[in-house]
Amino acid sequence: MTTFKNFLSEKGVQEDLASVLLTMAESFKSINAQIRTAEVGKAGSSNAYGEEQLALDVLSDRLIQDECKKNSVIGLLASEELPEEMKIGDGSFGVAYDPLDGSSLVDVNLAVGTIVGIYDLGEGGSFIGKKGDEQLASMAAVYG
């Protein structure tokens, strides 16, 4: 059986980038489990765009943050749920993501997902000024 880790290795994905991809895959598994069991109600807060957050938005964001903090090559996060970038370490990779796109559809059992872009932060150490074609990798997980 081919695992995601083996697949990345077979495709020649650089080890540090592969570790970021594997970290995100772990967070996808955690989010999937929570979607099936967690409360769907409102969190009582707003995201960076002024949209009312659902409890699952906040939980999904926390799950991704917690998983990324375990990986020393990830230095910066940018989430739809956060007002600004979050420095989590000195790693050279940045992860930009929407932790639960379409979260308002969870209670009617329509597909929702996580969208991720992975960047080399370079000397600036920030997402500011980065263009889409500078992404090293992107990922999407669909739940439901």
Q: Give the least confident one: 6-10, 14-18, 42-46.
A: 42-46
What is the Cα–Cα distance from 72 to 16, expressed in whole angstroms? 9
CB count within 10 Å of CB 97 equals: 25
Q: Indicate the number of domains in the chain.
A: 1
Q: CA 83, CA 74: separation in Å to the nearest integer?
A: 19
Domain extent for 81: 4-143
The enclosing domain of 26 has a CATH number of 3.30.540.10
Longest dimension (CA), the chain: 45
What's the pLDDT tens digit per position in 57-96?
Answer: 889 999 999 999 999 999 999 998 888 999 999 999 999 9
Model pTM score:
0.87
Pairing state between β 42-46 and 135-143: unpaired
Contact 23, 71 (CB under 8 A): yes
Mind listing the pLDDT tens digit for each residue in 23-64? 999 999 999 998 877 666 565 566 666 667 678 888 999 999
